Structure 1
Amino acid sequence: MTIKDIGPDPQSFDLETSTVENTHYRAVAWSGKYLQLTLMSIPVGEDIGLEAHPETDQFLRLDAGRGRVQMGPAKDRLDFDREVEDGWAVMVPAGTWHNITNIGDEPMRLYTVYAPVHHAAGKVQPTSADAGRDEESGEDEPPSWSVQPAQEEPDEHA
């Protein structure tokens, strides 16, 4: 990835090209005071991972590949089920259980905007396992300049 997260300073880059060229599971491209942009690459047959962010809204956009979006109020009640592809957007309200599975025959490339900031600035996680280890070890905490909810509830993972 050629983009460097410079924190809450002004930034500009070719988002579509950067998203399509990203080969990492997750790479934080920009971290502001109130929101964050990450690039993601999900291998064929794999998924983002079923989760819910109680205090975080998300916007996701696919720039390559095909996916299956599932969302709902509980991890065992994913009543929103849609197929998406290049150009589609997905909005995830805070507290909603969600997952996107790559159902295509190429890596699914997407970007996501978190509000508030959710990951460590500039963090690059080549695989989903790396992301899980970083979260468990506390090495994926939002930067000190970001504004976080007063009483943040922890994320939930299935």
Structure 2
Amino acid sequence: MTETMETTQPIVEMAKANDEFRKVLMTGDKMQVVLMAIPEGGDIGAETHDGHDQVLIFVEGQGTAKIGDTETGIQAGDLSFVPSGEFHNFVNTGSGMLKLYTMYAPPEHEAGTEHETKAEAETDPAEQ
């Protein structure tokens, strides 16, 4: 499937309908929009993005956000901001999927990237 290039989209509905771990929607020169779905008990994966700020907006489910040394509960309607170089992870602690959309500035993934599962994302050479 190719990357969607419309400039206005129903992002909350799209995020709620998404069941893929990662699905890149839009990639510009300076920003990228990605849908994510984290299964029960799963996580995004502890990581640090050097040179990329990230904003995550949660639309369904609940979990825990760890950004730097701070850990807090998250739920639908919450936003998390991850500054460049800050260690972070997001864990689904609820029942059902934790669904969100996220923005990277500048882009983090190749345009059109899709990963059905976290395991698929971890074995993708383009993500290493």
Q: Tell me the TM-score normalized by structure 1.
A: 0.77
Are the counterparts in 1 of residues 3 and 111 from structure 2 also a CA contact under 8 Å? no
Aligned position for 1:33: 29
Q: Quick one: distance in 2 between partners of 1:65 and 1:38?
A: 17
Q: Which amino acid aligns with 1:31?
A: T
Are the counterparts in 2 of residues 5 and 121 from structure 1 also a CA contact under 8 Å? no
Aligned position for 2:85: 95
**Pairing 1:104–2:106 present:** no
Are the counterparts in 2 of residues 40 and 111 from structure 1 also a CA contact under 8 Å? yes
Aligned position for 1:49: 45
Are the counterparts in 1 of residues 59 and 76 from structure 2 also a CA contact under 8 Å? yes
Q: Deviations over 1:109-145 (max 9, x none)?
A: 00110000110111110001111111xx23x5xxxxx
Q: Deviations over 1:29-77 (max 9, x none)?
A: 10011000000000000000000001100000000000100121xxxxx
Which of 75, 78, 83 is matched with 1:85 structurally? 75
Q: Which runs of 5+ in 2 are unaligned?
A: none
DSSP-derived class of the 1:51 partner: coil
**Runs of 4+ that moved beyond 3 A:** none
Q: Quick one: distance in 2 between partners of 1:52 and 1:99?
A: 9
Aligned length: 128
What root-mean-square deviation, in Å, do the aligned CA atoms of Structure 1 and Structure 2 show? 1.6
**What's the offset of the Cα at 1:4?**
3.8
Q: Quick one: distance in 2 between partners of 1:36 and 1:30?
A: 6
Identity %: 34
DSSP-derived class of the 2:88 partner: strand
**Pairing 1:131–2:121 present:** yes
Which structure: larger Rg? 1
DSSP-derived class of the 1:52 partner: coil
Are the counterparts in 2 of residues 38 and 112 from structure 1 also a CA contact under 8 Å? yes
Aligned position for 1:62: 58
Which of 9, 15, 22 is matched with 1:13 structurally? 9
Q: Which amino acid aligns with 2:37?
A: S
